[in-house]
């Protein structure tokens, strides 16, 4: 490592040319005489010249990178929240060079309940598309610290934001950021005076398909909902469930059976109580797969069988739902496509901004599996 940063000036001096020539040699090689060019390259190699992205970005007026910012997810990230943010690898004494397995305390096996989650699959789609577009990705996460979003926004040409249930402060920060660069939000329905682009999924259609399936195929009628309503997606799902039930002339609950967020402390308190009283509906329709898996754990721990005693369904279509026993009936979101679409949209907006914010709603699809009584797949 050079003590001081190597700049064009150093390279120019070494190669016996001016800084303009150095810059040209890299940016438009064809317009520089070959001998000069090679001299510049040699000097750069010897000195270990790495052009400063900051300086380039400043001069160019853009960074060339797209960002993905995730606010801490109160709900879907619950499992992560339970685990300490630090791991043994975070605190290891780095003076030793051989570190035995035991000291790493690595999970015995990869745990699909922790990774990949919903947000991870979206992120993957975002990364894949950015790579296709030849743009690096800047990832950042924060626990709703508003400063972080702005900070991230300052380093990218376009920003995708993942946040269920954003705070008022976060909304304000995003509105401000949207004035400076294209911002696309996942899974948050548009407000009145909206300035962001949006990528949503068809919660309504997915939930309707699910309810219809439960009623028509399994003859289930007593359906209850699990999940808080402050998260926008969840609210849409609950409303859609009610709508679908009422459309069939069936009774629909006025409120979710349990709204407690997953995560720290004793979650699903209301449900636990109902389990204790053995006062359960025929089917528990959960707002997400993560919730559904937690619900199945609770039920099975109480000696109840899924789906014989209680049907449980999820929403999202994460990998973990395929690996649970029973496998989880769910409505799958096109997560990779959501991430890819976000990247594409931002890319296009940076090239040619559209006058008004754009909203996309992507299709969903029902995957009946064993937790509703369908055969394992």
Partner DNA sequence: TTGTACGCGTTATCAC
Partner DNA sequence: GTGATAACGCGTACAA
Answer whether 195's CB lies under 8 Å from 255's CB: no
The whole-angstrom separation of Cα 228 and Cα 256 is 7
CB of 16 to DNA, least distance (A): 7
The whole-angstrom separation of Cα 250 and Cα 213 is 14
Q: Tell me how many degrees the CA angle 341-342-346 measures, rounded to the nearest 5.
A: 115
Q: Which residue has the tokens 């999970």?
A: 107
Is the Cβ of residue 174 or residue 299 nearer to a second copy in the bound state?
174
Interaction between residue 1 and DNA (CB under 7 A)? no
The whole-angstrom separation of Cα 190 and Cα 357 is 10
Is the Cβ of residue 100 or residue 219 nearer to a second copy in the bound state?
100
Site string for DNA, 4-33 (x = CB under 7 A): xx-xxx--x---xxxxxx-xx-xx---xxx
Is the Cβ of residue 8 or residue 285 nearer to DNA in the bound state?
8
- Binds 31, which of a second copy, DNA, none (CB < 5 to 8 A, cut-off by type)? DNA
Could you tell me which of 167, 170, 159, 229 has the C-alpha nearest to residue 199? Answer: 159
Q: How many residues of this chain bind DNA (CB under 7 A)? A: 32
CB of 135 to DNA, least distance (A): 17
As given in the structure block, the two tokens for residue 218 are: 């399994």
Taking CA atoms, 10 is separated from 15, 59, 60, in Å, by: 9, 19, 22
Beta-bridge mates of residue 201: 362
Is the Cβ of residue 196 or residue 242 nearer to a second copy in the bound state?
196
Contacts of residue 296, defined as CB under 8 A and 6 or more positions apart, other chains included, come to: 306, 312, 324, 326, 328, 371
- Binds 32, which of a second copy, DNA, none (CB < 5 to 8 A, cut-off by type)? DNA
Site string for DNA, 56-95 (x = CB under 7 A): x-xxxx----------------------------------
CB of 330 to a second copy, least distance (A): 10
> What is the 8-class DSSP label of residue 316?
B
Q: What are phi and psi of 368, to 5 degrees?
A: -75, 125
Query: Which of the residues 171 through 200 are near DNA (CB under 7 A)?
Result: none
As given in the structure block, the two tokens for residue 99 are: 């570190």
Other beta carbons within 10 angstroms of residue 131's beta carbon come to 12
CB of 38 to DNA, least distance (A): 11
- Binds 107, which of DNA, a second copy, none (CB < 5 to 8 A, cut-off by type)? a second copy
Is the Cβ of residue 38 or residue 269 nearer to DNA in the bound state?
38
- Binds 176, which of DNA, a second copy, none (CB < 5 to 8 A, cut-off by type)? a second copy
Other beta carbons within 10 angstroms of residue 284's beta carbon come to 28
Site string for DNA, 291-320 (x = CB under 7 A): ------------------------------
Other beta carbons within 10 angstroms of residue 327's beta carbon come to 19
Is the Cβ of residue 55 or residue 247 nearer to DNA in the bound state?
55
Site string for DNA, 31-50 (x = CB under 7 A): xxx-xx------------xx
Using CB under 7 A, which of 2, 3, 41, 52 touches DNA? 52
CB of 224 to a second copy, least distance (A): 27
The whole-angstrom separation of Cα 162 and Cα 232 is 12
Helix (H) / strand (E) element for 200: namely: strand 197-201
By CB atoms closer than 10 A (0-12, 13-18, 19+), residue 180 is exposed
The whole-angstrom separation of Cα 80 and Cα 127 is 21
- Binds 36, which of a second copy, DNA, none (CB < 5 to 8 A, cut-off by type)? DNA
Q: Name the 3-class secondary structure at 96.
A: coil
- Binds 210, which of a second copy, DNA, none (CB < 5 to 8 A, cut-off by type)? none
Taking CA atoms, 336 is separated from 3, 41, 126, 211, in Å, by: 43, 41, 7, 25
- Binds 42, which of DNA, a second copy, none (CB < 5 to 8 A, cut-off by type)? none
- Binds 92, which of a second copy, DNA, none (CB < 5 to 8 A, cut-off by type)? a second copy
- Binds 63, which of DNA, a second copy, none (CB < 5 to 8 A, cut-off by type)? a second copy
Given the rule CB under 7 A, which residues bind DNA?
4-5, 7-9, 12, 16-21, 23-24, 26-27, 31-33, 35-36, 49-52, 54-56, 58-61
């Amino acid at each position: 490592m050079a003590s001081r940063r190597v700049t064009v000036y150093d390279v120019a001096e070494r190669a016996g040319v001016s800084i303009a020539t150095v810059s040209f040699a890299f940016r438009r090689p064809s317009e520089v005489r070959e001998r000069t060019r090679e001299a510049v390259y040699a000097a750069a190699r010897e000195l270990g010249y790495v052009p400063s992205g900051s300086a380039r970005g400043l001069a160019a007026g853009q960074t060339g990178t797209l960002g993905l910012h995730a606010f801490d997810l109160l709900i879907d990230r619950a499992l992560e929240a339970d685990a300490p943010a630090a791991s043994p690898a975070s605190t290891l004494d780095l003076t030793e060079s051989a570190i035995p397995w035991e000291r790493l305390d690595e999970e015995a096996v990869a745990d699909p309940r922790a990774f990949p989650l919903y947000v991870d699959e979206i992120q993957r789609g975002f990364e894949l598309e950015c790579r296709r577009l030849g743009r690096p990705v800047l990832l950042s996460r924060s626990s709703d610290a508003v400063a972080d979003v702005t900070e991230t926004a300052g380093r990218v040409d376009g920003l995708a934001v993942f946040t269920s249930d954003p705070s008022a402060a976060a909304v304000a920060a995003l509105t401000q950021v949207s004035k400076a660069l294209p911002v696309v939000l996942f899974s948050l329905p548009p407000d009145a005076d909206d300035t962001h682009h949006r990528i949503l999924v068809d919660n309504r259609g997915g939930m309707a398909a699910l309810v219809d399936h439960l009623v028509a195929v399994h003859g289930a009628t007593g359906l209850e909902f699990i999940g808080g309503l402050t998260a926008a997606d969840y609210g849409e799902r609950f409303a859609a469930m009610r709508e679908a039930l009422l459309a069939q002339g069936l009774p629909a609950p006025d409120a979710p059976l349990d709204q407690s967020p997953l995560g720290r402390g004793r979650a699903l308190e209301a449900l636990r109580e109902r389990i204790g009283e053995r006062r359960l509906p025929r089917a528990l329709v959960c707002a997400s797969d993560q919730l559904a898996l937690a619900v199945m754990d609770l039920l099975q721990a109480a000696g109840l069988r899924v789906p014989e005693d209680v049907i449980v369904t999820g929403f999202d279509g994460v990998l973990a739902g395929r690996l649970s026993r029973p496998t989880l009936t769910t409505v799958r979101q096109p997560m990779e496509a959501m991430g890819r679409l976000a990247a594409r949209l931002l890319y296009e907006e940076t090239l040619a901004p559209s006058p008004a914010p754009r909203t996309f709603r992507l299709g969903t699809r029902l995957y009946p599996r064993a937790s509703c009584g369908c055969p394992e797949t």
